[in-house]
Amino acid sequence: MNPVDRPRAASPLLKLFGILTVLAVGIAVYEFTQARQAEDSVTAAERVHQTDLAQLQEMAGRARAAEQGQTQLQAQLKEQEAAVQAAKTAAVSPGPRPPAMPAPGKAAAEAARKQSLADGQAFVAAYGAQVKPMLMNLGRAQIERNFSSLIRSGVLTADQIDAMETATAEKWINSLALTPNSVHPDDPNLKDDEIKQILGDEGFKSFEDFRRLQPLERTVTDISSMSVFRPFTPDQSNQLLKVIANANSTYQSGGRVTPQTTDWNQVIAQSQSFLSESQLNAVKAEAQLPQIMGLIKEFYDAQAPKK
């Protein structure tokens, strides 16, 4: 072989240059990676900073709201203290007393009531054609629920029931109180002479009897709701209503019934014939509530200092 054709061995300088080149590339890649990581860290830190800043702003807003609420409470307290001091001064000073000023809370409540009434009438005027039928249906449904036992009793005719529901619903619309979160009648009840004009003397007497029993409607409904596995049928509810009324001394003397004046032992004994065991247990649970309240009263009476 010709000596000219032999491959030349790489010189030490070329090998060194290659090694330095590899190192330089590696260092550049490492520095680039470190730079990207540093940039990502800065971005993440900025995000955390923005989140912390938003939380601080929210906390500052809450602090300002709390401070404003405290300022209002302090102002109301000063007004009440001034009113108390004025009352004390008027009590000990001679001469005619100044007219009593309404409490700040009462005045604010009355102003809010008047505003809700004004909003209610403005609402009906603005959406009357659309909203009146809905309000009438809503009113009728609630009236039928409130007067359910009177309606089921059969003492009123269908025309009397319809006339009473219509008159009551119209009264609700005319006294509608409106707020952003509620709608309700400010004056929900017809006057006695209005009811008598609709129902007549006999119907009005039945209505008065129902009104005396009305607190028991809620009691029977509560008892039925506690009988989860077997709620009362309408007939069972009516029977239980009559049993409780007969066992209630206030109702028997011409007053409105209260659970506290009910002989629950008599109710339980007479209900066994038409209630199941689970339904009867719900009655017993309701009967125990007045007993517990009586024991609570005895407990606090015993804690009171002796005179």
**pLDDT of 97-125, one tens digit each?**
555 555 668 888 899 999 999 999 999 99
**Average pLDDT over all residues of the chain:** 76
Helices marked H in the chain — which ranges? 12-92, 104-146, 148-153, 158-174, 192-226, 234-246, 249-252, 264-271, 277-303
CA distance 236 to 225: 13
Domain boundaries, the chain: 110-190, 213-302
- Residue scoring higher pLDDT (221 or 81): 221
Average pLDDT over residues 26-38: 50
> How far is Cα of residue 211 from the mean position of the Cα atoms in its chain?
26
**pLDDT beyond 50 at 19:** yes
pLDDT at position 276, please? 93
Report percent pLDDT > 90 for the chain.
Answer: 27
User: 281 CB contacts (<8 Å, ≥6 apart)?
Assistant: 227
CA distance 173 to 137: 11
Secondary structure of 5-46 as H, E, C letters:
HCCCCCCHHHHHHHHHHHHHHHHHHHHHHHHHHHHHHHHHHH
pLDDT at position 23, please? 47
- Residue scoring higher pLDDT (1 or 255): 255
pLDDT at position 67, please? 57
Is the pTM of the predicted complex or chain greater than 0.85? no
Average pLDDT over residues 160-174: 90
pLDDT at position 255, please? 83
**pLDDT beyond 50 at 248:** yes
| Residue 42 confidence class, pLDDT cut points 50, 70, 90 | very low
| Residue 2 confidence class, pLDDT cut points 50, 70, 90 | very low
